[in-house]
């Protein structure tokens, strides 16, 4: 599929957001063909300064900003805001994640932008609902993971809280923001203003885990890699101290598991005959399986489990993930960067008309596209030079 045929071709998105949730959302839209203009302060998105670095460029920043154009601008200056207002006239979606009160001070609040373009879709990403008891609480990833109950739902009962090592709920919130934004394009409600909250998204995305508590009044146990409702459905260790998954999600798969490992007696044992039986006798069955699986290497077990159609998989280290042929062939791609050469990126997790959707535009340098955007808005070269010299805008 050519770039011109991407489904969001012709859509313009103004991205005032920073850090992760908003930039992740707008990267999705840029991959789908939208013209995303990343509006940055003269010092840039803070993630540009987050380690680790390659030749002075943040890997974190590179991971969530491909496909965009960078406009570095002083929004505190009236002439800076005037540039934005010209862009708003020709745009379709706005994203922002400012702290309470900041967007009003900068003149990019919903009321102001809707007065310029009533058909605008405005999406605001916030940590918590405004005017709630947590309105002023900084919504850092670890704060949200702690408040959501996630950190004391994973791991084991005798362990301290465990943080998921990437900003899981920022990613989920970014995806929700995309849904709300695209919904706005088809909505008859004008103006269309949406708010998406990290904390609410966190609890919502945990799905059945909170509902187990709400409907039974019992906290789910911290079971590490095991499942509260299915047995065996967890990781086991092999003879080389490597781990692999066995996911006998129903009685049929459990029967196949017993056949695969040569233990039909476990299939007929009344303690393990049905999944409720296995859940009740979890500790006994898991101990038996652990003693069996530790006798041979992971590849041996995966081979016979897959031959017998038992859902299973290796538990990879991250370096193993990127040696997996599926990942190398389907998920990783490369694009050209002016300073770094060819850089690896992660593709969108789906296809449209049998084509992966991703932008070939590199993550922009700060202010890299300032001049071209101003020219598109009708600014003359002398006007652009004046704006640069007076620190209203910045270019590379």
Q: What amino acid positions are annotated as catalytic residues?
A: 170
Question: Phi, psi (5° rounding) for residue 69?
Answer: -115, 140
Question: CA 321, CA 328: separation in Å to the nearest integer?
Answer: 9
Question: CA 321, CA 324: separation in Å to the nearest integer?
Answer: 5
Question: CA 118, CA 136: separation in Å to the nearest integer?
Answer: 29
Question: CA 330, CA 354: separation in Å to the nearest integer?
Answer: 12
Residue appearing with tokens 């808005």 = 377
Burial 371-396 (b: 16+ CB within 10 A, else e): bebbeeeebeeeebeebbeeebbbbe
Question: CA 58, CA 19: separation in Å to the nearest integer?
Answer: 12
Question: Cβ(53)–Cβ(11) under 8 Å?
Answer: no
Helix (H), strand (E), coil (C) string for 270-291: CCCCCHHHHHHCHHHHHHHHHH
Question: Cβ(7)–Cβ(352) under 8 Å?
Answer: yes
Residue appearing with tokens 């101290």 = 241
Q: Which long-range contacts (CB under 8 A, 24 or more apart) does 375-382 make?
A: 377/83, 377/86, 377/87, 378/86, 379/83
Question: CA 392, CA 396: separation in Å to the nearest integer?
Answer: 14
Q: Across-strand partners of 333?
A: 345
């Amino acid at each position: 599929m050519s770039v011109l045929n991407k489904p969001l071709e012709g859509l313009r998105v103004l991205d005032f957001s920073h850090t992760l949730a908003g930039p992740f959302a707008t990267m999705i839209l840029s991959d789908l063909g939208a013209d995303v203009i990343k509006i940055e302060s003269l010092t840039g998105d803070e993630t540009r300064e987050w380690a680790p670095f390659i030749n002075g460029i943040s890997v974190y920043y590179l991971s969530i900003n491909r496909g965009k154009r960078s406009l570095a601008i002083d929004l505190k200056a009236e002439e800076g805001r005037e540039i934005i207002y010209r862009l708003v006239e020709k745009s379709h979606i706005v994203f922002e994640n400012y702290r309470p009160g900041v967007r009003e001070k900068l003149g990019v609040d919903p009321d102001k932008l809707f007065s310029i373009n009533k058909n605008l879709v405005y999406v605001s990403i916030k940590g918590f609902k405004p005017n709630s008891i947590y309105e002023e609480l900084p919504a850092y990833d670890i704060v949200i993971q702690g408040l959501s109950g996630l950190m004391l739902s994973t791991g084991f009962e005798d362990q301290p809280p465990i943080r998921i090592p990437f900003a899981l709920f920022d990613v989920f919130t970014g995806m929700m923001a995309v849904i709300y934004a695209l919904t706005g394009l088809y909505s008859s409600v004008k103006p269309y203003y949406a708010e998406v909250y990290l904390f609410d998204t966190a609890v919502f995305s945990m799905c059945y885990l909170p509902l187990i508590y709400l409907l039974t009044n019992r906290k789910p146990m911290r079971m590490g890699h095991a499942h509260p409702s299915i047995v065996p459905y967890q990781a086991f260790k092999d003879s080389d101290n490597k781990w692999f998954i066995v996911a006998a999600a129903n009685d049929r798969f459990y029967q196949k598991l017993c056949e695969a490992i040569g233990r039909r007696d476990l299939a007929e044992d009344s303690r393990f005959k049905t999944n409720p039986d296995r859940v009740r006798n979890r500790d006994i069955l898991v101990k038996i399986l652990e003693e069996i699986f530790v006798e041979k290497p992971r590849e041996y077990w995966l081979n016979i489990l897959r031959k017998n159609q038992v859902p299973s998989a290796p538990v990879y280290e991250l370096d193993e993930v990127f040696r997996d042929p599926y990942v190398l062939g389907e998920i990783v791609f490369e694009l050209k960067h002016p300073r770094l050469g060819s850089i690896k990126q992660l593709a969108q997790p789906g296809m449209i008309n049998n084509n992966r959707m991703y932008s070939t535009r590199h993550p922009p340098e700060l202010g890299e596209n300032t001049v071209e955007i101003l020219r598109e808005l009708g600014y003359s070269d002398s006007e652009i030079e004046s704006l640069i010299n007076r620190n209203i805008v910045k270019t590379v």
